[in-house]
């Protein structure tokens, strides 16, 4: 690992992936006594700038992405695919998921990085509070998770020098997207749902427009959501007055189904 530099990149609409990325990147670079370059590609303008990384053998990338429907966020996948060239660089692949399951996302991230010329030397799937409800993994990653994440970061430093291939077991298989279910077990169809605005509560501060990773909320009139909505909940979490909300019945039923079935504490998975 001599003379390596650590690069950290994350897409994180509501901050969980960001928190993990910062912790792992910092721990690794301190342990390696090397430089650290940290950047996110959450917003459209950030993607234009940050998704142009061409690395080499003296670099180590830490990539942290949230799990959406058991896979990587599909609107972000092209940026991961086009924007990061490894050319022999090593990488740590991390996904964070909201207490249901990470399904195929870790295998997908590992595959994508390897296809781009990275050698993935460590990987993890880390539980974090689900953006749909704080009843799912509330407050995670917590202090105990952070201890495990710190250990993983230090183990990841050692793993950079590995000569064998990293084994992530059954997570290596990439299956179809998870189909969200309603309370009655039927598929929840909320692809076209968009966040509404309570005009009585909204103070027209436009913060919701500024954090939308798709740039879909019109800044001059935030009642207008003209582009794609990926249901990331960034607009809902950032609003200081609770003025944004979803009223889509399928979406709300899916959220209730998750609360009904997935409140047990899920385990982190670390692969070294």
Which residues of the shown chain bind ligand FMN in the complex (CB under 6 A)?
12-18, 66-70, 96-101, 128, 130-131, 178, 230-233
What are residue 124's DSSP bridge partners?
A: 94, 270
Q: Kindly state the smallest distance separating residue 207's Cβ from ligand FMN, in Å.
A: 16
φ, ψ for residue 269 (rounded to 5)? -125, 130
Pick the closer one to ligand FMN by CB: 32 or 123.
Answer: 123
Pick the closer one to ligand FMN by CB: 68 or 246.
Answer: 68
Q: Kindly state the smallest distance separating residue 3's Cβ from ligand FMN, in Å.
A: 31
Q: How far is CA 228 from CA 197, 214, 232, 252, 264, in A?
A: 16, 7, 11, 19, 32
Q: Kindly state the smallest distance separating residue 265's Cβ from ligand FMN, in Å.
A: 12
Pick the closer one to ligand FMN by CB: 178 or 245.
Answer: 178
Pick the closer one to ligand FMN by CB: 60 or 100.
Answer: 100
Q: Kindly state the smallest distance separating residue 184's Cβ from ligand FMN, in Å.
A: 19
Q: Kindly state the smallest distance separating residue 158's Cβ from ligand FMN, in Å.
A: 27
Q: Kindly state the smallest distance separating residue 233's Cβ from ligand FMN, in Å.
A: 6
Pick the closer one to ligand FMN by CB: 99 or 156.
Answer: 99
DSSP for the chain, please give it.
-TT-EEEEEE--TTSHHHHHHHHHHHHHHHHHT--EEEEE--SHHHHHHHS-EE--TTEEEEEEEE-BTTBS-TTTHHHHHHHEE-TT-EEEEEEEE-SS--TTHHHHHHHHHHHTT-EEEEEEEEE---TT-TTSSTT-S-HHHHHHHHHHHHHHHHHTT--SPP--GGGG---PPP--B-TTSSBP--TT---EE-TTT-----HHHHH-TT--B-SS-TT-B-S------HHHHH-TT--EE---HHHHHHHHHHHHH--SPPPPEEE-
Pick the closer one to ligand FMN by CB: 32 or 67.
Answer: 67
Q: Kindly state the smallest distance separating residue 219's Cβ from ligand FMN, in Å.
A: 21
Pick the closer one to ligand FMN by CB: 102 or 153.
Answer: 102
């Amino acid at each position: 690992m001599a003379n390596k530099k650590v690069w950290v990149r994350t897409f994180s609409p509501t901050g969980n992936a960001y928190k993990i990325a910062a912790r792992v990147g910092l721990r690794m670079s301190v342990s390696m006594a090397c430089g650290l370059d940290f950047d996110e590609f959450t917003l459209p303008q950030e993607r234009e700038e940050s998704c142009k990384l061409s690395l080499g053998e003296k670099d180590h990338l830490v990539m942290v992405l949230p799990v959406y429907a058991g896979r990587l966020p599909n609107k972000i996948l092209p940026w991961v695919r086009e924007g990061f060239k490894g050319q022999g660089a090593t990488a740590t692949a991390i996904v964070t998921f909201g207490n249901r399951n990470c399904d195929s996302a870790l295998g997908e991230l590992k595959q994508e990085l390897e296809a781009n010329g990275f050698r993935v030397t460590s990987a993890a799937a880390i539980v974090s509070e689900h953006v749909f409800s704080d009843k799912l993994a509330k407050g995670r990653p917590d202090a105990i998770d952070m201890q495990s994440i710190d250990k993983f970061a230090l183990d990841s430093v050692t793993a950079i020098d590995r000569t064998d291939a990293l084994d992530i077991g059954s997570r290596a298989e990439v299956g179809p997207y998870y189909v969200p279910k309603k309370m009655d077990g039927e598929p929840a169809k909320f692809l076209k749902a968009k966040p509404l605005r309570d005009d009585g509560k909204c103070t027209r501060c436009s913060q919701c427009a500024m954090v939308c990773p798709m740039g879909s909320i019109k800044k001059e009139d935030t009642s207008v959501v003209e582009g794609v909505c990926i249901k990331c909940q960034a607009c809902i979490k950032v609003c200081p007055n609770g003025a944004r909300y979803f009223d889509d019945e399928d979406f709300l039923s899916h959220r209730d189904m998750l609360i009904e079935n997935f409140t047990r504490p899920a385990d982190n998975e670390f692969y070294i």
